[in-house]
Amino acid sequence: MSGIRYEEYGVSNDGIPFVLYDGLHRTPLTCSSAANWHDHIEVQLCHSGEGFVLIDGERRPFLPDDIVLVNSGAIHYTGTEHELLYSSLLIDPVFCRCAGFEPTALFFEPCFRDSVCFSLCRDLIELYHNESAPHRCAGLQILILQLLIHLTDLHTVPAPEVKGVPAHDTVKRAIRYIRENYHQKITLDSLAAVVYTDKYNLTRIFRRLTQLTVVDYINQYRCRMAMSMIADGKSISEAAAACGFHNMSFFTKTFRRHIGCLPSDCKRRGARGM
């Protein structure tokens, strides 16, 4: 895992109140490269194999028949050291609010087993794939409402007691600032001031939630942006400067470390693609 990304799924325009990723097959080579967070409530179902989930820095096993509930805004990552088959259901927050469920105010048990919940999800997945079913859209909305009612009745927990700003909110703000200002000089002191903490706390929580140091994340993001610019035709020196690198030797070494090749390799690939 090499960072955190925010995922934007938009609002459904076909009346289906969720996004479904069914039958996700993961091995150590095909796991995502980054943790992510989004506004949706996410339900994950483990079908076979074994894996783990990391939610706001806490790691839990993910085994067959387990259900994982990811709260809106939680930083999470699903991985495996062997092989894992699971499905992911992301419930539209707009639909939730229209039905009287405020996703940001709901806090669920992170991992549990519940045969009724699993059965509802399986019925929902089966209907989703049956595009010729009568009243399919209405049926999916009813199943999602039944699922939400069941989850809120049986699997909500008290809101966590927060002292000050939650760690993941601080990390999210830091990542947003880095992405908006990667072309400028960013120091640990200046970043900590922007997110209203001290650099020692920022260093600790950033590493815990992203598995990267702040400096590594900044350099990695800058290198990815530079790679995109080079592929789009900018010269290597122009891309380096535009991404906050003013020493070409350091840029080349850092680029190779984070991207796995030299900037000139990206330039040649871009030229071949033109």
- Please give the full DSSP string across the chain, using - where no structure is assigned: ---EEE------SSS--EEEEEEEEE-TTTS-SSEEE-SSEEEEEEEEE-EEEEETTEEEEE-TT-EEEE-TT--EEEE-SS-EEEEEEEE-HHHHHHTT--GGG--B-SEE--HHHHHHHHHHHHHHH-TTSTTHHHHHHHHHHHHHHHHHHHSB-PPPP-SSS-HHHHHHHHHHHHHHHTTS---HHHHHHHTTS-HHHHHHHHHHHHSS-HHHHHHHHHHHHHHHHHHTT--HHHHHHHTT---HHHHHHHHHHHHSS-HHHHHHHHHHH-
At 122, the pLDDT band (50, 70, 90 cuts) reads very high
Q: What is the mean pLDDT of residues 132-152?
A: 96
pLDDT band at 87 (very low <50, low <70, confident <90, very high): very high
**Domains defined for the chain, CATH in brackets:** 4-154 (2.60.120.280), 167-273 (1.10.10.60)
**Each residue's pLDDT tens digit, 203-247:** 998 887 777 899 999 998 899 899 889 988 899 999 999 999 999
Mean pLDDT of the chain: 89
Using the predicted structure, report yes or no on whether residue 270 has a pLDDT greater than 70.
no
| Residues 30-82 pLDDT 10s | 888 778 888 899 999 999 999 999 988 789 999 999 999 999 988 888 999 99
Question: What's the pTM?
Answer: 0.67
Nearest to 91 by CA among 144, 15, 153: 144
The tens digit of pLDDT for each residue in 94-116 reads 899 999 999 989 999 999 999 99
